Amino acid sequence: MSDSLHRLYQQVIAAKDADPSESRTARLLRAGRAKAAKKLAEEAVEVVIDTMNGDRDAVVRESADLLYNLTVLWVASGVNPTEVWEEMARRERLFGIAEKVPKKLIESVASRRKVVVLQSRRSPKRR
């Protein structure tokens, strides 16, 4: 599986220099991190909705879209999948592969994250 994501990552990197009128990936990357983050969130919500509706096939399709958009966000943020795999390996050593890092541990090690408001490109509504 990581091979597929690695190939996808390499193709997204290659698309950075593509013509945005011909490449959706190039267009998304040029729109910036906020747009990439918004697309990732949209796909995550679609996976949740399809899961709640019991639509297994849609969950599969939307999960592929979710992974694509996560990869685009990694590229936009300068994150290499290798770094993610290294973090997963570290967590596996500490907690097991099927466990998430306990929140108490995260909170004791790092301060709370700053909430960032994503700016809309739409013009403000007139009143």
Q: Which domains does the chain have, with CATH numbers?
A: 2-109 (1.10.287.1080)
Cα 120–20–76 angle (5° rounding)? 60
Summarised one tens digit per residue, pLDDT across range 12-37 is: 999 999 999 999 999 999 999 999 99
User: Which residues, including other chains, have CB under 8 Å from residue 23's CB and lie 6 or more apart?
Assistant: 15
The letter for the amino acid at 27 is R
| pLDDT-derived band at 1, boundaries 50, 70, 90 | low
- Asked if residue 118 has pLDDT above 70, the reply is no
What integer pLDDT is reported at residue 95 of this predicted model? 81
**CA dihedral for 116, 120, 121, 127, sign (positive or negative):** negative
Q: What is the pTM of this model?
A: 0.77
* CA–CA distance, 64 with 3 (Å, rounded to integer): 14
Query: How far apart, in Å, are the Cα atoms of 1 and each of 20, 58, 117?
Result: 28, 20, 33
* CA–CA distance, 102 with 80 (Å, rounded to integer): 24
